[in-house]
Copies of this chain bind each other. A is one copy, B any other.
Amino acid sequence: MESIEASPLYPIANPRSIALFGASNNATSMGTGLLGSLLALRFKGEIYPIHPKEERVLNFKAYRSVLDLPKVPDLALIVLPTRLVSETMDACGRKGIKHAIVISGGFKEVGGEGINLEKDLVAAANKYGIRFLGPNCIGVANPRQKLNTTFMVFEGAPGFIGMASQSGSFVTQMFNYLSRHAIGFSTAFSVGNEANIDIVDCVEYLGACPDTKVIALYIEGIRRGRAFVQMARSIVPKKPIVAFYIGGSETGSRAGLSHTGALAGPDRLYEGIFRQAGIIRARSMMELFDVCWMLGSFPRIAGRRVMIQTHSGGPGAEAADACGRAGLDLPPLSSETIKRLSPFVPHTGSISNPLDFTFGKNITDYYWDIPKVLLEDTHTDVLLFYFSMSGGTLERTTRQLGFPPDQVAEKTVEMINLQSDSIIRLLETHDKPFVGYTFLNLKDPLVRRLIERGVPIFPGPQRAARAIEAAYRYTCLRDKILVSTSHKEAASR
C-alpha cells in the first residue's frame, strides 16, 4: 500500500458524505439509532437518508432512491432488512458509489438461505467494484473524524488504539470502558462476516494510520492466515499488535463458531500464528486493552526486572506475588540505592523490593525523592508504583491543617498538583517506564490527573504485572523480527 489513502478503508473511515439506508422516523429502528449516533458525535459531513416513503427523516431531507441523490456520496451505510440489501448494493453501484458498510445481519452467520444471500451481496458489489465492510457488523468509529456508525452513543475522546474486531460489541462496549481509563480508539472497525474487506485489510490500514500507536484485535477465526502473518510482521517493527483470540477452551470455541460464521480453529494453531506474526496474545478483553495501554504509553521495556514502591506491606506483597506469577523478576536493591534511600524512608518502613514507605510527613519523599532514586537504579527496568491516598483523605488532611473551609478544596487541588507534577517531571527526565497500580477509583483526583497525562495506572497489581510482562514480550518479538529481516536482507544481497 503506497499510502493510507490507497486503502479501501480510507473512505470508509473518513467519509465526507454518507448515503444512509434504514433510518426512519421510527425511533426504535436500528437505522435511526445509527443516525442518532452520527448526530450525537456531530459528524461534519453530509448525510443523505434514503427512504421509500418519508419526505424527511429527523431533520434531513430524505430521498426515495439513491439514484436521486444530488451527488455521489463517499460511503453507503446500509441497515435494511436482509432481503433488501443486495438490490440496494446494486443501486449504489449504479449510482457510482464505491464504498459501503453493511450493518444488516441474516447472512452467512445464520446459515441456510443466508449463505446464498451473502453470495448475492458479494456478486452485486463485485459487479461495480464496490469495497465494503460487513455484512453483520456495526461499522466504524473514528472519533477524530466525528464518525460513529454504530448503534451505541460514542463516549470518551480519540486515543491511540486502532482496533479491528470480529465482534461489534467489542467496539461499542469499549467506548465507555476506554474513556474510564483515559485511553481511546484512534479508529475501530467491526469487520462482521468479512465478505469483502477482511481483518487483514484492517490491520494494513491501522498499520499506516498515523494516530494509531498500537493495534488491538479481537479474533474468532482468520481466513487468510499467510497474508495475516506477513502483514503483521511488516507492521510489528513499527508498532505493536495485541490480539485476543477465543478458542482456548472448548466451550469458547463452540461459542465462537456460532457467531460470525468463521471457523474458530484450534488454540495451538493460533498460538503459533501469533508467535510467528510477532503478535502479543491477551487472555481477555480487559487484558487486551491493558496491554495496549501499556504499549501505547511505553513502547519499549528493556527487561523483566521490576522495582515496586508502596506505602504498605499488603499491597507490596500482592504486587510482588503478581509479578512473580506473571514471570517478572524483583531484583534486590543495590547498596548504592539503599544508601540514597535511607534519608527518606522512616524506621517503620522497609528499604527492599518491594519498598514499603509506611507513613511519612513529607509528601515529596514519596512522590519525588524515592521514585527518583528507584528510577536511577540501573538494575531495574520498570518502576511499579502504588497509589493509595484518596482525594477524600487528602481533603480531610487539608481541613485539619486549619485552612478556612472555603480554601480547603483549593488547597487540596494544590497538593494533588504538587504530587502529579512531581511524577510527570520524573517521567520527563527519566527513560524508564513508570507504571502505577491502585484500588482507588480511576476518577480519584490524583490518579485521574496522571492517567490523563499518559501514566498507565492499573486497577490492581495483577493487571499491571501482566501488562508489563506482555510489553516486554513485545520488545523480544520485535527484536526477533528485526534480526530475522536483516538476515534475509543480508542473504538476498
Is A460 among interface residues, defined by CB-CB distance under 8 A? yes
> How many whole Å from A312's CB to the nearest CB in chain B?
4
Asked whether A320 and B255 contact (CB < 8 A) given A28-B397, A396-B153, A439-B285, the answer is: yes
The residue from B167, B322, B439, B460 contacting A315, defined by CB atoms under 8 A apart:
B167
For A250, the chain B residues whose CB sits under 8 A away are 324
Judge whether B359 and A260 touch: CB under 8 Å: no
> How many whole Å from A487's CB to the nearest CB in chain B?
37
A351 to B365, CA, bound (A): 59
**In residues 319-333 of chain A, which contact B (Cβ within 8 Å)?**
319-325, 329-330
Is A352 among interface residues, defined by CB-CB distance under 8 A? yes
> How many whole Å from A121's CB to the nearest CB in chain B?
15
The residue from B33, B169, B314, B361 contacting A168, defined by CB atoms under 8 A apart:
B314
> How many whole Å from A442's CB to the nearest CB in chain B?
10
Judge whether B259 and A317 touch: CB under 8 Å: yes
> How many whole Å from A8's CB to the nearest CB in chain B?
24
- For A20-32 the 0/1 string (1 means CB < 8 A from B) is 0000000111101
> How many whole Å from A266's CB to the nearest CB in chain B?
14
For A322, the chain B residues whose CB sits under 8 A away are 252, 284
Judge whether A444 and B176 touch: CB under 8 Å: yes
- The residue on B at minimum CB distance from A324 is B249
The residue from B169, B254, B319, B329 contacting A314, defined by CB atoms under 8 A apart:
B169
Judge whether B106 and A441 touch: CB under 8 Å: no
Is A40 among interface residues, defined by CB-CB distance under 8 A? yes
- For A75-119 the 0/1 string (1 means CB < 8 A from B) is 000000000000000000000000000000110011000000000
For A252, the chain B residues whose CB sits under 8 A away are 317-318, 320-322, 324-325
Interface size on A, residues (CB 8 A): 94
> How many whole Å from A394's CB to the nearest CB in chain B?
9
Judge whether B251 and A320 touch: CB under 8 Å: yes
A317 to B285, CA, bound (A): 11
Judge whether B348 and A105 touch: CB under 8 Å: yes
A365 to B102, CA, bound (A): 26
Judge whether B350 and A258 touch: CB under 8 Å: yes
For A392, the chain B residues whose CB sits under 8 A away are 153, 155, 176
Judge whether A323 and B251 touch: CB under 8 Å: yes
- For A406-418 the 0/1 string (1 means CB < 8 A from B) is 0000000000000
Judge whether A317 and B167 touch: CB under 8 Å: yes
A107 to B173, CA, bound (A): 50
For A284, the chain B residues whose CB sits under 8 A away are 318, 322, 460-462
Is A218 among interface residues, defined by CB-CB distance under 8 A? yes
Is A170 among interface residues, defined by CB-CB distance under 8 A? yes
Asked whether A324 and B390 contact (CB < 8 A) given A40-B396, A315-B173, A439-B176, the answer is: no
A324 to B230, CA, bound (A): 32
Is A316 among interface residues, defined by CB-CB distance under 8 A? yes
Judge whether B174 and A439 touch: CB under 8 Å: yes
For A459, the chain B residues whose CB sits under 8 A away are 286
Is A313 among interface residues, defined by CB-CB distance under 8 A? yes
A259 to B356, CA, bound (A): 9
A315 to B259, CA, bound (A): 10
> How many whole Å from A489's CB to the nearest CB in chain B?
40
- The residue on B at minimum CB distance from A284 is B462
For A358, the chain B residues whose CB sits under 8 A away are 105
Is A423 among interface residues, defined by CB-CB distance under 8 A? no
Asked whether A153 and B401 contact (CB < 8 A) given A167-B315, A258-B313, A315-B173, the answer is: no
For A316, the chain B residues whose CB sits under 8 A away are 255, 259
- The residue on B at minimum CB distance from A390 is B176
Is A198 among interface residues, defined by CB-CB distance under 8 A? no
A28 to B394, CA, bound (A): 11
Q: Which 8 A-B pairs have the closest CB atoms?
A: A167-B314, A252-B321, A249-B324, A259-B313, A251-B324, A255-B320, A27-B400, A169-B312
4 extra A-B contacts, CB within 8 A, seeds A37-B396, A259-B317, A259-B350:
A220-B317, A246-B321, A247-B321, A252-B318
| 21 sample A-B contacts, Cβ–Cβ < 8 Å, listed by A number | A27-B402, A36-B400, A58-B400, A106-B347, A136-B348, A151-B393, A153-B392, A155-B392, A170-B314, A176-B444, A218-B314, A244-B318, A247-B321, A249-B325, A255-B320, A255-B321, A258-B356, A259-B314, A284-B322, A285-B439, A286-B459
